[in-house]
């Protein structure tokens, strides 16, 4: 049953609700349920934050190393180089999120024009 | 860093007198921020991808409102493009969204007051995604505890609304983005996540978890793609926590 399996107007929306909303909100609701017994100062929260942070970090790294769309056409070394320069720019420009993006884009675009 | 802050540093009583509407509005204002602009730019990339996949504007808006988390939406559109069945798509999206559970667990204790009803927390949890989570962890301490749920409601709903506008704009205007522009747009999301995640870490262990996760993520993906995020989160997270405990003992 793919996204285009049925010709009915409502099918894509049901597809999004089940494969998208249900698949994400279940984890959010589970989080609310599990948080029930945890206090704000609990040491367990440090562990939970570590796991959450590592998971998002893995998402970030995979977006750069195994990207989708037009970014997939570029060289992996160029993408990683651009991301590392951007991260360096973040510290160089007093922790500016904006400047880190400017630096990374400059490296990526220069690389795409030259290579 | 957390322990000093957590100890009863509630804002003054004058701020406390202000009503729910005031704090909802403060949440709306907090949403209109640099992170929101950067997220909006990432949504340009997402909308371009959805357009390419043959998803209609109404469907893309529906996705933005009901799935919300950007990485999960990218996975969902990827599954649609690949012609995956509904169960395979749900499984892939669910794997990409496991991270939401620990994020919500970390946020809820800061969000709730003793009088908060559970359904409010379940409802608000839908707004949890990287940007609103980072913004909330950075600003919730300056909000009186009883107003935090209202504040987060304003913050989360505004972020969704802004990005629904972005998706609409892309569908109306940018039918054909040149590849170099879409490549540039697609780089914004990971870079923004990278720096904002680093900035939002409460303790040094968060930075350790991040570096471990960044290195391990792609490596584990090569060996075990189906569960790479979950496995990386658990292993790197436990490693960072172990480092946290060891360092505290040494001190």
The pLDDT value given to residue B151: 97
Q: What is the CA radius of gyration of chain B?
A: 19
- The residues near B56 (Cβ < 8 Å, ≥ 6 apart) are A12
> Is A23 in the same domain as A66?
no
Residue B82 near residue A9 (C-beta atoms within 8 A): no
Query: Residue A29 belongs to what domain range?
Result: 1-37
> Is A28 in the same domain as A55?
no
Distance CA B243, CA B207 (A): 11
The pLDDT value given to residue B118: 93
Q: What is the pLDDT along chain A (115 residues), one digit of tens a residue?
A: 888 888 899 999 999 999 999 999 999 999 999 998 777 667 888 888 888 788 878 878 988 998 877 888 899 999 999 999 999 999 999 998 889 999 999 999 999 999 8
- Asked whether the beta carbons of residue A55 and residue B105 sit closer than 8 angstroms, the reply is no
Q: How many residues does chain B have?
A: 251
The pLDDT value given to residue B34: 83
- The residues near A57 (Cβ < 8 Å, ≥ 6 apart) are B197, B209, B210, B211, B212, B213, B214, B217, B232, B236
> Is A65 in the same domain as A50?
yes
Give the residue on B whose Cα is nearest the Cα of A75.
B183
> Is A96 in the same domain as A60?
yes
> Is A52 in the same domain as A95?
yes
Mean pLDDT score, B74-94: 82
Residue B102 has pLDDT above 60, yes or no: yes
pLDDT band for B85, please (50, 70, 90 cuts): confident
Average pLDDT, chain B: 85
pLDDT band for B6, please (50, 70, 90 cuts): very low
Mean pLDDT score, B167-177: 82
> Is A20 in the same domain as A68?
no
Mean pLDDT score, B10-22: 67
Contacts of B232 in chain A (CB under 8 A): 54-55, 57-58
Specify the residue for token string 């007198």.
Answer: B17
Our CA-based measurement puts residue A97 at a distance from the nearest CA of chain B, in whole angstroms, of 6
- Asked whether the beta carbons of residue A60 and residue B38 sit closer than 8 angstroms, the reply is no
> Is A106 in the same domain as A60?
yes
> Is A8 in the same domain as A31?
yes
Using a pLDDT cut of 90, give the percent of chain A over it: 57
pLDDT band for B80, please (50, 70, 90 cuts): confident
The pLDDT value given to residue B181: 84
The pLDDT value given to residue B158: 96
> Is A12 in the same domain as A67?
no
> Is A56 in the same domain as A98?
yes
> Is A85 in the same domain as A106?
yes
The pLDDT value given to residue B27: 95
Count Cβ–Cβ pairs < 8 Å, chain A vs chain B: 318
pLDDT band for B22, please (50, 70, 90 cuts): very high
Contacts of B104 in chain A (CB under 8 A): 27-28, 30-32, 35
> Is A10 in the same domain as A27?
yes
- Whether the model clears a pTM of 0.80, i.e. scores above it, the answer is no
CA distances to A22, B117, B175 from B126, in Å: 11, 16, 30
Residue B1 has pLDDT above 70, yes or no: no
Among residues B137, B166, B195, which one has the least CA distance to residue B42?
A: B166
Among residues A84, A109, A31, which one has the least CA distance to residue B191?
A: A84
- Asked whether the beta carbons of residue A16 and residue B59 sit closer than 8 angstroms, the reply is yes
Domain boundaries defined on chain B: 18-193, 201-251
CA dihedral of B154, B155, B156, B157, whole degrees rounded to 10: 40
Using a pLDDT cut of 90, give the percent of chain B over it: 45
Give the residue on B whose Cα is nearest the Cα of A69.
B49
pLDDT band for B92, please (50, 70, 90 cuts): confident
Handedness of CA A15, A19, A20, A21 (dihedral sign): positive
Structure tokens at B179: 């590849």
């Amino acid at each position: 049953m793919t996204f285009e399996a049925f010709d009915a107007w409502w099918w894509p929306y049901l597809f999004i609700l089940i494969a998208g909303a249900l698949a994400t909100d279940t984890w959010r609701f589970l989080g609310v349920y599990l948080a029930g017994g945890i206090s704000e100062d609990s040491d367990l929260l440090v562990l939970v934050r570590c796991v959450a942070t590592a998971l998002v970090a893995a998402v970030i790294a995979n977006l750069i190393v195994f990207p989708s769309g037009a970014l997939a056409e570029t060289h992996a070394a160029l993408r990683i180089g651009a991301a590392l320069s951007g991260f360096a720019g973040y510290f160089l420009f007093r922790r500016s999120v904006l400047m880190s993006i400017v630096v990374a884009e400059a490296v990526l675009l220069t690389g795409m024009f030259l290579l | 860093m957390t322990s000093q802050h957590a100890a009863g540093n509630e804002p003054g009583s004058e701020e406390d007198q202000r009503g729910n509407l005031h704090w909802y509005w403060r949440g709306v204002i907090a949403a209109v921020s640099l992170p929101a602009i950067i997220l909006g730019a990432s949504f340009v990339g997402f909308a371009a991808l959805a357009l390419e996949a043959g998803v209609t504007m109404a469907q893309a808006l529906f996705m933005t409102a009901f799935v919300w988390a950007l990485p999960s939406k990218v996975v969902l559109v990827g599954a649609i493009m690949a012609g995956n069945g509904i169960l395979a798509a749900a499984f892939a999206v669910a794997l990409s969204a496991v991270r939401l559970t620990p994020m919500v667990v970390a946020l809820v204790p800061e969000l709730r007051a003793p009088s908060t009803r559970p359904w409010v927390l379940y409802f608000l949890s839908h707004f949890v995604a990287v940007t609103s989570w980072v913004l909330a962890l950075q600003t919730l301490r300056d909000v009186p505890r009883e107003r935090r749920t209202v504040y987060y409601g304003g913050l989360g709903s505004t972020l969704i609304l802004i990005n629904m506008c972005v998706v609409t704009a892309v569908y109306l205007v940018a039918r054909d983005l040149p590849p170099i522009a879409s490549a540039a747009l697609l780089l914004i999301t990971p870079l923004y996540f990278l720096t904002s995640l680093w900035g939002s870490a409460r303790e040094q262990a968060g930075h350790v978890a991040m570096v471990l996760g960044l290195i391990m993520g792609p490596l584990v993906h090569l060996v075990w793609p189906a569960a790479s995020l979950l496995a990386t989160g658990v292993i790197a997270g436990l490693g960072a926590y172990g480092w946290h405990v060891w360092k505290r003992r040494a001190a």
